[in-house]
Amino acid sequence: MSAPIIAIDAMGGDFGPHCIVPASLQCLAEIPSLHLALVGQSPVLEEIIARHPAVDRARLTIVSAEEVVGMDERPTQALRAKPRSSMRVALELVRDGHAQACVSAGNTGALMALARHVLKTLPGVDRPAMMAAIPTLEGVCLLLDLGANVDCTAEQLYQFAVMGSVAAESLGIERPRVSLLNVGTEDIKGNQQVKAAAGLLQQAGDINYRGFIEGDGLFRGETDVAVCDGFVGNILLKSSEGLAHMVALRVEALFRRSLISRVVGALVLRLLLQFCADLRSAQ
């Protein structure tokens, strides 16, 4: 069996190929088993790669794609008007079996729309969901959806729970605890969609459903998978990142008040900044 290949949308993101290509080459240098396919405008990619003569080209493929999806473009524009975008071509490599995964830092809405169109969904799954590992006191909690689906039905929340549970199992968590994010833990709390989703999960014998959970319980590590619609999930993620960053800045200012505080702060601040970085990477 040939080595797995990861397709990289080399043109996407705020900084495009000038950030993505060097980062990809660094990954190749650090992981000997890694094989990459960089997808994008070939002349641009080759020019950047030429600045790194030590690259192992046997593990690096360039796949030409002339068009680029802008960060501010509507998903429908990327779907209908750009058949040769780097994002779409990278997804097609996965569809056609030439790559086993696709990575893009580009337009999230366009990526979700193109992925659903090109790769389709599994039977029984209506919509894809975005998921991230949120740091907790016990380790991490998988949170989904994070913004792909602002409005969700009870059936879709149930599907997210199934996908999150499977993802947690693939990470080595045995019988992952699954909870619905809600405004309270009592059965009478929540909107109709959340209540109906709870009923579906209670009837699913193959899911370790633990009931409702509030935001503070998530960070205490009371569940392994937290399920919500994309509106709630995105607000929770961004608010948590902002709070962690604010706390780090306030603590830094406090530690700068005296020499002793600076010494202590040098030890503590690094941990706070790492926590902020963990939240940012979850986006």
Indicate whether 90 pLDDT > 90. yes
What's the per-residue H, E or C state across 22-86?
Answer: HHHHHHHHHCCCCCEEEEECHHHHHHHHCCCCCCCHHHEEEEECCECCCCCCCHHHHHHHCCCEH
Is the pLDDT at 278 greater than 70, yes or no? no
pLDDT confidence of 273, banded at 50, 70, 90?
A: low
Which tens digits make up the pLDDT trace of 132-146? 999 898 889 999 999
Indicate if the pLDDT at residue 97 is higher than 90.
Answer: yes
What's the confidence (pLDDT) of residue 69? 96
Higher-pLDDT residue of 281 and 175 is 175
For residue 245, what are the CA distances in angstroms to 17, 85, 111, 233? Answer: 28, 35, 28, 18
Strand partners, 36: 6, 60
Q: What is the pLDDT of residue 258?
A: 74
Residue 282 has pLDDT above 60, yes or no: no
Tell me: cis bond preceding 145? Omega within 30 of 0 counts. Answer: yes
Burial (0-12, 13-18, 19+ Cβ within 10 Å), 221:
middle
Amino acid letter, residue 249: L
Residue 172 φ then ψ, to 5°: 95, 10
Q: How confident is the model at residue 148 (pLDDT cuts 50, 70, 90)?
A: confident
- Choice among 101-105, 120-124, 150-154, 256-260 with the minimum mean pLDDT: 256-260
User: In the predicted model, what is the mean pLDDT of residues 43-56?
Assistant: 91
Q: Are strands 101-103 and 177-181 parallel, antiparallel or unpaired?
A: unpaired
**Amino acid identity of 262?**
R
Q: Indicate if 129-283 has the same CATH topology as 6-119.
A: yes
Beta bridge partner(s), residue 63: 39
Provide the pLDDT for residue 205.
83
Tokens describing residue 210: 């633990």
* pLDDT for 88: 97
| pLDDT value at residue 241 | 86
Whole-number Å distance between alpha carbons of 200 and 248: 41
Residues 6 or more apart in contact with residue 30 via CB below 8 angstroms: none
Tell me how far apart the terminal alpha carbons of the chain are, to the nearest angstrom.
34
- Provide, rounded to the nearest whole percent, the portion of the chain with pLDDT above 90: 73
In this prediction, residue 249 carries a pLDDT of 81
Query: Given a cut of 90, is residue 23 above it in pLDDT?
Result: yes
Which of 38-42, 194-198, 269-273 shows the lowest mean pLDDT across its residues? 269-273
Count other Cβ atoms within 10 Å, centred on residue 105. Answer: 19
User: What is the rounded average pLDDT of the residues 180-205?
Assistant: 93
Q: For the domain 129-283, what is the CATH code?
A: 3.40.718.10
Residue 283 has pLDDT above 60, yes or no: no
Q: pLDDT value at position 259?
A: 72
CATH superfamily of 6-119: Isopropylmalate Dehydrogenase (3.40.718.10)
Average pLDDT on 102-128 reads 92
Question: How does the average pLDDT of the chain come out, rounded?
Answer: 90
pLDDT at residue 53 in the model: 82
pTM over 0.75: yes
Could you state, in order of their start, the residue ranges of all structural domains in the chain?
A: 6-119, 129-283
